[in-house]
Amino acid sequence: MKKSLGPKTIIYPMPVLVIGTYDINNKPNLMTVAWGGICCSDPPCVSISVRKGRQTYDNIINRKAFTVNILSEDMVKKADYYGIVSGRKEDKFSRTNITPIKSELVSAPYGKEFPFVLECRLYKTIELGTHTQFIGEILDVKAEESILDKSGNPDIEKLKPFFYDPSSVYYFGTGKMLAKAFSAGKEI
């Protein structure tokens, strides 16, 4: 029996995306968003939703670029911090001992110590209501060699990404491998 919960913004899983940007004075900033994901294969694109009024909103509008950093579960407190504090008040890179590296491809920084990053140039800006969706064209993906497998592909067991549960308001880690995609369904 289904129960109506009303028009809530709940979905599983929600990613924990740490967005890197520069302000007009070249101060690097980080902000965590849970609303976003890959949205096109050609051009390769990722979308993120940001409210007007955020430092990150202004920075993306001005620089037309951002990075999307994925953190490992041992960095969960940092990711949470980036979502709580405004870049107008604090230098979030230095406060968390993360080194800002300027992307060679776009006008945005990423974290040297972060294991996985997408470098994006602004492709489309879509006004939705309270939130603006920024769609970035992915110009490159960079990953720490320590999280790659022998074939040079990201290894989830090494990366140890985590996600956000909007109902309990907790972060959860990666669980057990369940089934091979584009394969398990053939048994139906």
**Which 110-139 residues touch a copy of itself, going by CB under 8 A?**
116-118, 123-124, 126, 128-131, 133, 135, 137-139
Asked if 64 touches a copy of itself (CB under 8 A), the answer is: no
Residue among 22 and 68 whose Cβ is closer to a copy of itself: 68
Asked if 57 touches a copy of itself (CB under 8 A), the answer is: no
CA dist 101 and 109 (Å) reads 5
CA dist 27 and 152 (Å) reads 33
State the minimum distance, in angstroms, from the CB of residue 63 to a copy of itself.
19
Asked if 77 touches a copy of itself (CB under 8 A), the answer is: yes
Q: How many residues bind a copy of itself (CB under 8 A)?
A: 102
CA 120 to chain CA mean position, Å:
11
Alpha-carbon distances, residue 65 vs 59, 85, 132, 176 (angstroms): 8, 21, 15, 35
Asked if 61 touches a copy of itself (CB under 8 A), the answer is: no
Q: Is the peptide bond before 100 cis (omega within 30 degrees of 0)?
A: no
Asked if 174 touches a copy of itself (CB under 8 A), the answer is: yes
